[in-house]
Amino acid sequence: MHDGATWFHIIGPSELGHWVVLLDHGLDDLGLHSVWALVHVDNVPSLRVAERLGFLPVGEGHHYDGPHRVHVVLPGAASTR
């Protein structure tokens, strides 16, 4: 945990469906306008997972003491939903 933020474990291929359900719930049922993700630039497996879930890269920045890519998914824009 970092200052009250929730951190999730590594996502394996068998868990992608759980994340799709979570994204669907947030974007469709709760009406969120977007869901954001920060992924360290060297974490290639997580970058691939973000892409498979429909997250779009929108920039880079220095977050949590390292370079991260910023991703967003919007309602109706996810490739696997």
- pTM comes to 0.72
Q: Which two tokens stand for residue 76?
A: 């109706």
Q: Is residue 2 part of a domain?
A: no
Q: What is the pLDDT of residues 57-72, one digit of tens each?
A: 999 999 888 999 999 9
According to DSSP, residue 15 is labeled G
As a whole number of Å, the end-to-end CA separation of the chain is 29
- What's the number of domains the chain is made of? 1
pLDDT of residue 71: 93
Q: Is residue 52 part of a domain?
A: yes
Q: Is residue 67 part of a domain?
A: yes
Question: Which structural domain range is residue 31 located in?
Answer: 13-73
Per residue, the 3-state secondary structure of 54-72, as one string, reads CCEEEEEEEECCEEEEEEE
